[in-house]
Structure 1
Amino acid sequence: MEVSMENKRKDAGSIPTTPSKIPVGKKSKTDNKEAQVSNLTILEAIQSMEKNFDKQLTQLKEQAKQSSCMIASLTKAVQFHAEEVKVCKKKINDLESQSELLEKENRELKERVREQERYKMRWCLKLKGIKEKNEENIRTDIIHLFAKIAPDIDMRQLEDAVDIVHRIGRKEDNKNRHVVILFARRLVREEIWRRSKDSPVCKERGVRFTEMLPLEDREARKNLWPQIEQARREGKRAYYRGPHGYIEGRRIG
């Protein structure tokens, strides 16, 4: 019995065994370690990126803060300069107004001074062409000339009418300086001025009376002279009155 069982076992041992299922492969400790290292590296990289991001974010915030401060400072500076410009513009406008006022006052003052000069010079006559002598008494010579121009005017009246007589300019050889006559009586001055224009005495002695005028008026008359001269050649009535010229009663220039 025991032999037969043993034989059966032997016989059974000779029969080929049925192949078993292939066992599922298990991860080795090395693979797990490598996986852990890889995950750790990724985690460290992520953490490093987060730190860099946080650092960059901090820097950006700091730069934004600095930019905000700079913008605020620039805004204040712009506002300050805008106010300064506004104040400067106001000052410039005020100065322009003052300048215009001063220019107007200056023109008015100049015209007043010029009018005073005209008024004072209306009491004077200038005589050109009278010969100059050594140790001459020019006032007496002029009064005698007036007596010949207007013989109907009393000599004593002429003496009272003539105030000051003198020559003007620097004395030069072979040159007769002009004579300025200041009258004390305006009516006598006007009468002598009127009669001298067609006086044969003046033509005979080669002398000529002219009005005393400020420089500006003389320049104005000089500019108008071509028109006055042309009008007189055409037989028109042309004359001066102060700095202005008139042709047939119409003002020119």
Structure 2
Amino acid sequence: MGKSKRRSRGKQSLNVTSNCVSDTIKSERSDLNSTNLKTMDVTSEGEAIEVYDSTPIFVEGALGTPFPETPVKPMAKKNKRQEERWPERSDGNASILSAIRELSAKHDETFKKIATIEMTTDSTSKMLESLSSTVHQLVLDVGQHSETLKCLDGEIKTLKEENKSLRAGLYECRRYSWRWLLKLHGVKERAGEDVRRVVIDIFGKMAPDVRDSLNDGVDIAHRLGPARDDGKARAIIVLFSFRRVRDGIWRAERRCKYLEDNSLRLTEPLSPEDRAAREKLWPLVKAARDAGKKASFRSSFALIDGKKHFFSDVK
């Protein structure tokens, strides 16, 4: 009875011990089986992936018998196509990097060009602003000059009118001074002659009514120009002191018998302006005389049938 109880207790303790060892081994095996070993693998497309190896680790237990192997799916073998793709992928990456560097260099060069263009644009803008300011100033100056030119134009017109008036006054003064003169033609020249005395004698015979005034009335008398080689007598210019004496002699000249008998001629000397005017008017006067009209000269104009014709009217 006692021995059987002791045997049953020994068996129970042995079973308990075996169960504990078995549970421990199972727990360790479960922990080891749950541990995944990470490795690298390549897919069929040539991509590298991480693979966890779940192959259980067998530990010999206290019983001394190995655990049965758990069936595991074998790893896929790398085919030649996958092995060949790795260098192609490396070459492709190098080409991409090279293209990226080339694009980056072109990008930098483009940015430099853009920066240069911006600098040129800024410089051009500044130049345009300067030119715009200059043009604006020139426009203002032109406006001022236009006003100045208008004022000057008015002053020039005034000066022209004044000049015209002054010239007319000068011509009239010169013409008036020439009205104190008479010119005597046809008097023979003699050596050592007193030209003034010869003139007074001739005028006394022409106009007996002014004979007594001739000595004071005749101021200067002399011949014009140098002696001529052909022997012809030079004309005598006579300046009178009194206008009334001069006009009396001039009136006596008309149809003077003494002048005709001695082949003498008395004329009015003309100023350069009157001479030019008469030369211009002479064709008009001659045509009027040929047509039977009464035409003559009066100072700087021609009188045809009582109508005055000035040299400015002749084209």
The alignment's TM-score, normalised by the length of structure 1, stands at: 0.78
Distance 1:67 1:235, change over 3 A: closer
The one of 143, 154, 173 equivalent to 2:200 is 143
Distance 1:71 1:193, change over 3 A: same
Q: Give, as a single letter, the amino acid of the residue that structure 1 aligns with 2:305.
A: E
The equivalences for 1:195-206 within 5 A come to: 195-206=252-263
Instruction: Give how far 1:127 is off.
Output: 0.9
Distance 1:149 1:127, change over 3 A: same
Check whether the contact 2:210–2:248 (CA below 8 A) recurs between aligned residues.
no
Q: Establish whether residue 244 from structure 1 lines up as the match of residue 276 from structure 2.
A: no
Instruction: Give how far 1:156 is off.
Output: 2.1
Distance 1:43 1:177, change over 3 A: same
Instruction: Give how far 1:154 is off.
Output: 5.0
Q: Establish whether residue 184 from structure 1 lines up as the match of residue 241 from structure 2.
A: yes
Q: Establish whether residue 78 from structure 1 lines up as the match of residue 130 from structure 2.
A: no
Q: Percent identity?
A: 31
SS at 1:111's partner residue? helix
Map of 1:116 onto structure 2? 173
Q: Establish whether residue 207 from structure 1 lines up as the match of residue 264 from structure 2.
A: yes
Check whether the contact 2:218–2:240 (CA below 8 A) recurs between aligned residues.
yes
Q: Give, as a single letter, the amino acid of the residue that structure 1 aligns with 2:237.
A: V
Q: Give, as a single letter, the amino acid of the residue that structure 2 aligns with 1:184.
A: S
Let me know the Cα RMSD of the aligned residues: 2.8
> Greater shift after overlay, 171-180 or 119-128?
171-180
Instruction: Give how far 1:102 is off.
Output: 4.0
SS at 1:66's partner residue? helix
Cα separation, 2, equivalents of 1:93 and 1:150: 62
List runs of 5+ in structure 2 lacking aligned partners.
1-75, 311-315
List runs of 5+ in structure 1 lacking aligned partners.
1-20
Map of 2:224 onto structure 1? 168
Cα separation, 1, equivalents of 2:287 and 2:82: 135
Q: Establish whether residue 62 from structure 1 lines up as the match of residue 119 from structure 2.
A: yes
Instruction: Give how far 1:86 is off.
Output: 4.9
Q: Give, as a single letter, the amino acid of the residue that structure 1 aligns with 2:169.
A: R
Instruction: Give how far 1:66 is off.
Output: 2.2
Deviations 1:54-96 (A, max 9, x none): 2222122122122223323333443454455555555655555
Map of 1:155 onto structure 2? 211
Cα separation, 2, equivalents of 1:184 and 1:140: 15
Cα separation, 2, equivalents of 1:160 and 1:239: 32
Map of 1:43 onto structure 2? 100
Deviations 1:170-218 (A, max 9, x none): 1224121111111122222112111212101111111111112111211
Deviations 1:122-142 (A, max 9, x none): 111111111111111111211
Map of 2:58 onto structure 1? none
Check whether the contact 2:210–2:245 (CA below 8 A) recurs between aligned residues.
no
The alignment's TM-score, normalised by the length of structure 2, stands at: 0.64
Distance 1:230 1:48, change over 3 A: closer
Q: Give, as a single letter, the amino acid of the residue that structure 2 aligns with 1:157.
A: S
Aligned residues: 232
